[in-house]
Amino acid sequence: MDKKRIAKEIVAWLLALWLCYVFFRAGIDKFDDGSGWSRAFRGWGFSVWFRVLIGILEVIGALLLLLPRTVAYGTITIGVIMIGAAITQLLQHHPHPAAYTMLVLATVLFVLRRKEFWRPGGG
C-alpha cells in the first residue's frame, strides 16, 4: 500500500469512529425524556415517537459506520437525518451549522469508502 492510500485509510477510520461516537451518543440521548433533545423536539412540534425513532436510526447509522462493508448504509442514514435536521432548523428560523457539517462529513466518508461498498460480492 502506498502512502496516499494509507493516509486515506487512516482518515476514513478516524472519520468513521468520530461520526460513530457523535451519532451513537446523540441517538442514546434521544431516549431520555429529560434530555435537551426531548425539549428541542417538543419545541419543534415533533412527538415522542418521532424523537425515539430518530434516536434508533442514529444508533443504527452509527454502528453501520464501523464496517467498511456497511458504511454506505450508515452514511446514507445519517445523511437523510441531517437533511431533515437542516430543513427543520430552517423552518424554525434557527439554522445551525452542525447539521450541515455532519452531512458534509458523512458524505466525505461515503466517498472515501465507496469502493468497499460497490465491490462485487459485497467486499
* Res 121: pLDDT: 55
Distance CA 91, CA 45 (A): 12
Q: How far from the centroid of its chain's Cα atoms is residue 69's Cα?
A: 16
* Res 63: pLDDT: 98
Query: Is 39 domain-assigned?
Result: yes
Q: How many alpha carbons lie under 13 Å from residue 39 in its C-beta half-sphere?
A: 3
pTM over 0.85: yes
For the chain, residues with pLDDT lower than 50 are: 123
Query: Is 64 domain-assigned?
Result: yes
Query: Is 62 domain-assigned?
Result: yes
Cell of 4: 496516499
* Res 96: pLDDT: 87
Q: Of 29, 54, 33, 55, give the one whose Cα is nearest residue 42.
A: 33
* Res 70: pLDDT: 93
Residue 55: which domain range? Answer: 3-116
As for how many domains the chain has, the answer is 1
* Res 45: pLDDT: 94
* Res 118: pLDDT: 61
Cell of 35: 434530555
- For the chain, strand residue ranges (E) read none
Query: Is 121 domain-assigned?
Result: no
Query: Is 123 domain-assigned?
Result: no
